Structure formats: structure tokens, C-alpha cells
Amino acid sequence: MRLLLSWSIMEHSGTLILSGLIFALLWLFSLKSRRQSCLPPGPSGLPLIGNVLQLDKNAPFKTLLKLSETYGPVMTVYLGRERTVVLVGYDAVKEALVDQADDFTGRGPLPFLVKATKGYGLGISNGERWRQLRRFTLMTLRDFGMGRKGMEEWIQEESKHLVGHISSTKATPFDPTFLLSCTVSNVICCMVFGQHFDYDDEDFLHLLQIISQSLKFASSPWGQLYNIFPGLMEWLPGRHHKTFSTIEEVRKFIMVKIQEHQDTLDPGSPRDYIDCFLTRLRQEKNIPTTEFHYENLVSTVLNLFLAGTETTSSTIRFALNVLIKYPKIQETMQQEIDAVVGHTRCPYMEDRKSLPFTDAVIHEIQRFMDIVPMSLPHYTLQDISFRGYTIPKATTIIPLLHSVLKEEKQWATPWSFNPQHFLDQNGNFKKNPAFLPFSAGKRSCVGESLARMELFLFMVSLLQAFTFSCHGGPDSVDLSPEYSSFANLPRRHMIVATPR
């Protein structure tokens, strides 16, 4: 018995010693690898999990900003086994994404998006696929009016639908979430599907709910765990399986729309983005290097549908919360709009130069909301020299947009809502180069000009028609995000829209 007990103790001790040796060797190897590759400095991490336990699971960007106070504006962290270089502050982000744009055009293989898109489409592509799809997408969306007069008319028409539906609430409390999602989504649907959906279309509302829930999942701690440990998470039960199954419903909806377009396609008279892509697909079907094939079409349309719906609608929802929180700002905007646009005619983009305060408030809403605080990750496609460091190939790059939009040397009061950030001493609108809610460089948001147009025209239309409030008064409005990780998503409030 004693012999067996002694053997058991020795076996247990040996296991502990072996585990400790493996732990130490992995740790030393990580340190050696960091020294040999001249990586930027950063906090020491644990084997396999890296620095994950050091991060605030609800707002990891806040931890990264705090760590930069010790390690500087270019630092290395490990998210699981993923080597990640974080760029902090306007100077570092601009130097990388703009001044060394060619070095930082790679897009990181974010597991959530890879799974949702099956690895295809514009959003996560690199190299020739990215070049072909981005050039085609920008050109096609511009041809269908993005940033131009044709798109302005679509948004004006959609504004009328929005105002009409809000009017039907008759100044009683309502949640604007899905109403705003319908409005914004219909703009991108006109460009991509050539179709406007009714606001009470149950199938359309179901798709919008899937989009909303998917972004919430991606912004939750569970979604972040999936991005860090995708292989492990695939084996574990959890809401990620439900999220991916519902995203598949959106893909099937898109595939049905593509089939409808194929059945009625007239190459000489394209109606929308899908028609243009299908025409190009037919033209290049015998070119082996073409990226114009079915899977890229499905996933790129999914990219446009997801990105073109939730980010802009969430920003408008946050804007309404801000106006309720600060009624004096709302009143000043209405006075300016009344003087320039009046109560009856539709606003135009050319009105923007005559509405400097309104324009400043919309910009400050985007800055203060900070909707994608860590941006979408970039990726090094080869070894890169940056600020005296060597960043190896296959390193994830996080341009911390949060640190740019809240940087004290760029903004007078970065942690307060202050439209004066975008006004000069004479009350004229002024630009700030650190205003980067759409990121910067060659991987900046494809739909930036569309989003800017939507925000301005929808906001002016709403303030023409209504004064917004809530029964609890301004103090009841909480501007802190409900979800905060991949995206800062605003809290829901029951609001009241009183006709003017």
C-alpha cells in the first residue's frame, strides 16, 4: 500500500514538474520569438491564452488604451495565440494606414466573419480578390448614385416613409430601433436588390432582427471568445451556433434574390448591383483568375447588406438619444434648419454648407459614439518595418480608432459631447484630421459617402418634422453603450416624437 501511495505521489509530482517545464519553455520561446523579430514591446502573456485575462471582457479597447500608457503607441499583445500589434493614437494610425498604406492593406481573418461569409466576399478578402471586388463595388455603387444626386433622391423618398411612420405614433412612446433599421436598410436594398421593402413586411423585419442580433453577439464577450478561440468554441455549446444558423437564413434570402435576378437579367439594362455582378460573371466565366463568381457575389452582397444596415441605423438611434439628452442642442439645430431649409421642402446635401452647427453635431455624434472602437483588424501579408520595429508576416493589426476619436491632444474635451470640436471661433464648420469613424487608407469603409449622406438627410428631415423627448426627461437617457466590444451599440429608449 505504501509503495502504491509513494508511486502515486511521485507520478503526480512528475506531472506537475513536466507541466511547469512545458509552461516555462513556452513562455521563454515566446520571449525569444519577440526579441528575434524586433516586435514592439508589450505585456507578458500566458501560454495558449496570451493576454486575454488582462483585457476587460466588456470593453477590451479600454484595456488596450491603458496598456499603451506603459508600452507606447505601438505595442504587441497576444489574443490567444494570435500575435497582435495595436496602433494607438492618431499619429501611429495615420502613419500606418495612410503613409504606409500599401504595407497595411491586408485584412485579418476574423473568425466570426470568415464563418459568416465562408471565406468569400469583399469584407475579409486580400490580394487580387480584394482589388477586383473593391474596384468593382465602388464603381458600381457610384454608378447607381452613391454620393450623387440619384442616391440623394432615394434617401429623400425614404425619409418621407420614415416621417410618415413616426407620425402614426401620435406622440406616444415608441422604440425606433427597427423603424430606423427598415429605413436605412431600404436605401442599400435599392442599390443592391433594386427593391424597396414595406415596413410591415414580416420577412424583412425578421432579417433585420437577425442582423441586429448578429452584431450584438459579435460585440459580446462570447463573440470575442469565438474570435480568439474559434476551434474550441466550435466544440462548445452556446449562442454562437444559433447566430450562425440565423446568418445562414440571410444568405439563403440573398441566394433567392440572386436567382430572381438571373431569371430576369438583361445585360444591356442593369437594375442594381446584383445585375452588374452577374453580367461581369458571365463575361469572365472562362477566365481562370477571375474573382467574379457565385460565392463572391453572395458574400459581398451579405457584406453590403449587413454593413449598410446596422451601423448607420444605430448611429441615428444614438443621435436621437443625444438630442433628448441635450434639448438645447436639439433646439439650436431646429432653429438653424428652419432658417435655411424651412418646414416644407426636402433637405438637400447642398444645404449642409449653410447648416454648420447641424453638421458639427452630426460629426460629434459619430466621434462620441465611437461605433467600431477597434476597427476591423488589418493583417500583415509580408514582414513590415514600422517605426524601427519589424512586424512579421501573418500578424494581426488593430488600429485603435477609439484612441484616435478620444485622444486628448486632438480634441478639447474628448470625453464630453461637444459640437464645438467641429466649429471655429466664427461658428463655421471646421474639419479635424483625427475624425476617423470610417477608418482610413485603402481599407476604409466602402460606403462612407453613402453613410454621410444618410446621416445628414435623415437627421435634418427628422428635426424638421419632430421634437424628440422621453417621459423620464433628459436625465433618464443613458448614452453609455448597451454592448461594447466589436461595436459600441446604443441603449434602447422609448422615445416620443412630437410633431412641430
Task: Inform me whether the pLDDT recorded for 2 exceeds 80.
Answer: no
Task: Inform me whether the pLDDT recorded for 14 exceeds 70.
Answer: no
Task: Inform me whether the pLDDT recorded for 396 exceeds 70.
Answer: yes
Residue 1: count other Cβ atoms within 10 Å of its Cβ: 5
pLDDT of residue 391: 97
Task: Inform me whether the pLDDT recorded for 267 exceeds 80.
Answer: yes
Judge whether 302 and 450 are in contact, CB under 8 Å: no
pLDDT of residue 485: 82
pLDDT of residue 22: 52
> Degrees (nearest 5) of the Cα angle 245, 248, 252?
145
pLDDT tens digits, 175-216: 999 999 999 999 999 889 988 999 989 999 999 999 999 999
Give the residue-averaged pLDDT of 274-294.
Answer: 95
pLDDT of residue 306: 87
Residue 272 banded pLDDT, cuts 50, 70, 90: very high
pLDDT tens digits, 47-99: 999 999 999 998 999 999 999 999 999 999 999 999 999 999 999 999 999 99
Residue 148 banded pLDDT, cuts 50, 70, 90: low
**% the chain with pLDDT above 70:** 92
pLDDT tens digits, 451-467: 999 999 999 999 999 99
Domain ranges of the chain: 109-381+399-499
Residue 23 banded pLDDT, cuts 50, 70, 90: low
Residue with cell 432579417: 207
pLDDT of residue 4: 38
Distance CA 246, CA 217 (A): 12
Higher pLDDT, 94 or 23: 94
Give the residue-averaged pLDDT of 108-130.
Answer: 93
What distances in angstroms separate CA 221 from CA 57, 98, 196, 244, 415, one per listed residue?
6, 31, 35, 16, 24
DSSP string over 368-424 = HH-SSTT-S-EE-SS-EEETTEEE-TT-EEEEEHHHHHT-TTT-SSTTS--GGGGB-
pLDDT of residue 150: 73
Give the residue-averaged pLDDT of 289-314.
Answer: 93
pLDDT of residue 37: 58
Task: Inform me whether the pLDDT recorded for 8 exceeds 70.
Answer: no
Distance CA 342, CA 336 (A): 9
Cell numbers found for residue 377: 483588424
Task: Inform me whether the pLDDT recorded for 483 exceeds 90.
Answer: no
φ, ψ of residue 497 to 5 degrees: the values are: -110, 105
pLDDT of residue 13: 47
Average pLDDT, the chain: 91
pLDDT of residue 141: 87
pLDDT of residue 28: 47
Give the residue-averaged pLDDT of 439-447.
Answer: 93
Residue 144 banded pLDDT, cuts 50, 70, 90: confident
Q: What CATH code is assigned to 109-381+399-499?
A: 1.10.630.10
Handedness of CA 446, 448, 450, 455 (dihedral sign): positive
Label residues 79-105 b or e (16+ Cβ within 10 Å = b). bbebbbbbbbbbbbbbbbbeebeebbb
Task: Inform me whether the pLDDT recorded for 35 exceeds 60.
Answer: no
Task: Inform me whether the pLDDT recorded for 15 exceeds 80.
Answer: no
